[in-house]
Structure 1
Amino acid sequence: MRKAMYDAELGDDVYGEDPTVNKLQDLAAEITGKEAALLVSSGTMGNLVSLLTLTNRGEEIILGDQCHVYAWEGAGVPIFGGVSLSVIKNKSDGTLDLNDIKNAINPTDDHKPSTSVVSIENTQNQCSGSPISEKYLMALKDLCNVNKLKIHMDGARLFNASVYLNVEASALTQHIDSVTFCLSKGLSCPIGSIICGSQDFILKAKRWRKSIGGGMRQAGVFAAAGIIGLKKMTKRLGEDHQNANQLAHGLADIDGISIDPEIVKTNIVRFSTLNNNTSKFYETLKSNGVLVNPSNSSLRMVTHYGITSDDIDLTLAAVSKTLREI
């Protein structure tokens, strides 16, 4: 990947003249079954640009209370787009109940913002990396078609979902209007995300990307890594899932840890300590050589290219040691 970055043929992507960026975008569009694609610097930018493109000021987006767009992206959509967020509860499997969506759609009433988009996440990070199935997406599309709504997918870990469900990525994106996926997570690139959609959508998205400062010049350096990620790294994501499964079942065998290993489907493992002393556990585990991402009530571990089965064994030993120390 680093050699590809070093050897990348470059141009000015602001003018659409970087051949490596163009190659990456064409490849991404082909893989997702969309007409066109656009390179952006991050998943947050990808979601923001996509939702600004799909909406108009004064409209409303329906999305889940556990989704990244709502919880972890600095309220970018309402700040920059003047768009309201109608937040409904995610189910434990990461989906949004279709009846909840239906009930959240605003009627034609001047007192209410017009509902225009439903935004979903696949896999659903805060629901233990749950993959969203094609069957659900088909049902969601039927509901949105009836109500003339667009669908955006935050597919940060889209390929984890497709690998777990044993379907092509395009099977999960054919039912939605726009999708963002990350190059810098399981695909192991240093930077970047991709937006995919129709030609008209991408033309408008490119203007929004420029407006929020996202145009890059010789971006082929990053795009070269993305090409390697899409061609080679998607094929090994199942290894991450196996390691996450090993980690989850190992944690379940440790006294003092609360986790249901059966909910771990992809590469995200969420658990808690029975004494609920998350901050002390986090700090002590860090001193024992393992970094974990803490939140108010749980901790998150994510498997990736840099983590092996042996690393899982070391982590489990460190967790046991930490619990004895606290």
Structure 2
Amino acid sequence: MDYIDLRSDTVTKPTEEMRKAMYNADVGDDVYGDDPTVNRLERMIADILEKEDAIFVPSGTFANQLALFTHCERGNEVILGDDTHIVQHEAGAASVIAGVQLRTIETDKGVLPPEKVLERIRKVEDIHFPKTGLICLENAHSNGRAIPLENFEKIRKIADDYNIPIHLDGARIFNASIALGVEPKEIAKYADSVSVCLSKGLCAPIGSLLVGSKEFIQDARKKRKIMGGGLRQAGIIAAAGIVALEKMRSRLVEDHENAKYLAKRLEEFGYINIVEQVDINMVFFRINKKFDENKFLDYLYKNGIKINPSEDGIFRFVTHYWIKRKDIDRVIELMKEFFEALE
């Protein structure tokens, strides 16, 4: 069965152009720096974000954890939002890999309050205190919100005052740039390092990139090796990433429009509430009706639709390249059939 898959934009399959590029990729040994396709991809993202250098890694979690591992010393403290991907969905890797302590702050729907960041910084040397080694931001946020750059500007000033680097989880930075109406470099300029995912809305099958200064990336190359990320003929997968950066960034606006259309259709039910601002390609909603969630998931699955279970009663549907308006209409139709059968 050809499923309509709304679980995430990570489910996207590579386009035909990507498959051809992968087949024809010119490759070498990336650990030696000899893979021309990887080198081209890294140069592309560094130029797009106006950073000095970049490194190709297997996944978004790998990129974020490599950033923490490179920026921080063991025992450092990292300040970040309590609802960020690094905290919620990276399996506690910061304590395992970088050996750092996460000091979280409650956000305002993803926005990190600058005054709270300032409060959390360890401002004095004390035998009892860890050192604040890093501040982490996220844009677009995991809740689907594009974070206003005024917020980043205030946090950047605080970070500079205390000589603390900033890492930006920019897995969906291109979605954020479209939602905010700015170039990606205008978001990236507030961070010392940025992670970018190629395998979500951009449709590449594998890979993320970490960008930063030449010195930072040089250090990250050794740390990548330690983490088991020293790839060899990686140009085969990097080739799809090049197509992603060249061809797939500009079309993300279509996914955003489809997400807004999906939210509008869901609101037709009357008992479904959209619980987060729809800035990018994610729709978060609550179904205010008594029903068996397992039966709901099973009904949709048997009719060719994949969704994730709710988290704390909140569902997330994600639009992407392979989701069209007719697919959304089909989902709404089946949801109506399921809930009408309960009455």
Q: Tell me the TM-score normalised to structure 1 length.
A: 0.95
Partner of 1:243 in structure 2? 258
Q: Deviations over 1:290-316 (max 9, x none)?
A: 211222321111111001111111111
1:290–1:318: 8 Å Cα contact kept in structure 2?
no
- C-alpha distance in 1, partners of 2:127/2:319? 48
User: What is the CA distance between 1:289 and its match in structure 2?
Assistant: 2.4
Partner of 2:331 in structure 1? 315
Asked if 1:212 is matched to 2:227, the reply is yes
Asked if 1:74 is matched to 2:88, the reply is no
- C-alpha distance in 2, partners of 1:303/1:317? 17
State the one-letter code of the partner of 1:269: V
Partner of 1:130 in structure 2? 145
User: What is the CA distance between 1:76 and its match in structure 2?
Assistant: 0.8
Partner of 1:86 in structure 2? 103
User: What is the CA distance between 1:318 and its match in structure 2?
Assistant: 1.7
Structure 1 segments unaligned to the other structure (5+ residues) = none
State the one-letter code of the partner of 1:311: D
- C-alpha distance in 1, partners of 2:341/2:66? 47
Q: Deviations over 1:97-122 (max 9, x none)?
A: 11111111123222121112111111
Q: Tell me the TM-score normalised to structure 2 length.
A: 0.91
Q: For 1:61, which of 78, 98, 121 is the aligned residue?
A: 78
User: What is the CA distance between 1:173 and its match in structure 2?
Assistant: 0.3
Q: Which has the higher contact order (CA 8 A, sep 6+)?
A: 2
User: What is the CA distance between 1:260 and its match in structure 2?
Assistant: 4.6
Find the residue that maps to 1:235 and give its secondary structure: coil
Partner of 2:314 in structure 1? 298
2:275–2:286: 8 Å Cα contact kept in structure 1?
no
Q: Deviations over 1:213-256 (max 9, x none)?
A: 00111000111000000011001000000000000111011133
Find the residue that maps to 1:241 and give its secondary structure: helix
Q: Percent identity?
A: 42
Asked if 1:254 is matched to 2:269, the reply is yes
State the one-letter code of the partner of 1:210: K
Asked if 1:40 is matched to 2:54, the reply is no
State the one-letter code of the partner of 2:201: G
1:252–1:260: 8 Å Cα contact kept in structure 2?
no
Q: For 1:268, which of 282, 304, 323 is the aligned residue?
A: 282
- C-alpha distance in 2, partners of 1:62/1:287? 44
C-alpha root-mean-square deviation of aligned residues, in Å?
A: 1.3
User: What is the CA distance between 1:198 and its match in structure 2?
Assistant: 0.2
Asked if 1:100 is matched to 2:101, the reply is no
Asked if 1:176 is matched to 2:191, the reply is yes
Select between 281-290 and 228-237 the one with higher mean Cα deviation.
281-290
State the one-letter code of the partner of 2:156: K
State the one-letter code of the partner of 1:314: R
Q: For 1:141, which of 156, 177, 202 is the aligned residue?
A: 156
- C-alpha distance in 1, partners of 2:107/2:299? 32
Asked if 1:20 is matched to 2:31, the reply is no
Partner of 2:247 in structure 1? 232
Asked if 1:154 is matched to 2:136, the reply is no
User: What is the CA distance between 1:322 and its match in structure 2?
Assistant: 2.2
Dislocated runs of 4+, deviation >4 Å: none
User: What is the CA distance between 1:197 and its match in structure 2?
Assistant: 0.2
Q: For 2:303, which of 264, 270, 288 is the aligned residue?
A: 288
Q: Deviations over 1:68-125 (max 9, x none)?
A: 1011111111112211000111211x21111111111123222121112111111111
Find the residue that maps to 1:74 and give its secondary structure: coil
- C-alpha distance in 2, partners of 1:186/1:83? 30
For the structure 1 residues 190 and 249, does the alpha-carbon distance in structure 2 shift closer, same or farther, using more than 3 Å as the test? same
- C-alpha distance in 2, partners of 1:116/1:275? 46
User: What is the CA distance between 1:276 and its match in structure 2?
Assistant: 6.1
Q: How many residues align?
A: 322
State the one-letter code of the partner of 1:213: G
